[in-house]
Amino acid sequence: MRQLAQQCLVFVLCGSGLGTWATAATLDAEQRLQLLERRTGQITQLTLQVQKLQRDNDQLRGQIELLHHQLAQIERRQRDRYQDITQRLTSIAQPAAAAQPSITLPPLVAQSPAPDKADDKSAVSAEQAYAAAWELLSPQRRQYTQAVSALQAFLVDYPQHKLVANAHYWLGETHFVLQNNQAALAAFTQVVEGYPDSAKVADAWYMVGRVYQAQGDLSTARQVWQRVVQEYPGTRAATSAQNKLTQSAQAQAGADAAS
């Protein structure tokens, strides 16, 4: 009997030990599962963060590419304006016959009547003032804002001088470089309507076309350039206008082909 009791006690103790071992094993498995789940969650979060960073990077790259494209366009337009005014400063405009194109332009500012006789001393100082203003436009200086002030001062101080038409023209060129399109158009209008016999009329009409082009009115720009070609043949302005018409036609053909 005693031996049977001992055997039962051993059995109970063994059973108890097995249960404890099974519980411990079960807890270890759960802990490992929880640890694995936590690590999986961390990996998932990291993966989501990496994907978000990749999307943000793609968006930033697209924005940078767009900004580079826009900057290149602005630089190209500005470079074209600088090159255009530089070419005009380094060449002599050819005289042209007067013409009366029918493009609608801003109203002219009234001009004062010319005096009977100019003072010699005043004429000398006027030419000096004009030369000083023109020098500000040179490729070496390119002080366009100062040139605007100097040319405006010349027009106020010497409204009847023989170089007034030229001053209006270069004032228009300067405003155009500075992208003051309305002021440029007003200055070129002074040349073509206020001084129809000036040698700068053909160039002024060509620049009127450039202003309309800059404003996005290509139809009016082409109309102006066609008139320059027809009414001022053989001039540098006519050659430039023809080049613009050719470029415009090629661009239109390319756009039509792409569509």
Per-residue pLDDT of the chain (259 residues; tens, 9 = 90+): 445 444 544 444 444 444 444 444 555 777 777 777 777 777 777 777 776 776 666 666 556 655 544 554 555 555 555 556 655 555 543 444 334 445 556 555 444 444 444 455 566 688 999 999 989 988 888 899 999 999 999 999 999 999 999 999 999 999 999 999 999 999 999 999 999 999 999 999 999 999 999 999 999 999 999 999 999 999 999 999 999 999 988 888 887 787 7
> Tokens 């099974």 label which residue?
22
* pTM for the predicted model, two decimal places: 0.60
Q: Which of 71, 81, 95 is nearest to 139 (CA)?
A: 81
Helix H or strand E encompassing 199? none
CB atoms within 10 A of CB 204: 25
Where b means 16+ CB within 10 Å and e means fewer, 80-108 reads ebeebbeebeeeebeebeeeebeeebeee
Instruction: Measure CA of the first residue to CA of the last residue in the chain; give whole Å.
Output: 107
User: CA 160 to CA 189: how far, in whole Å?
Assistant: 17
Cβ atoms of 202 and 165 within 8 Å: the answer is: no
Q: What is the predicted pLDDT for the residue at 228?
A: 96
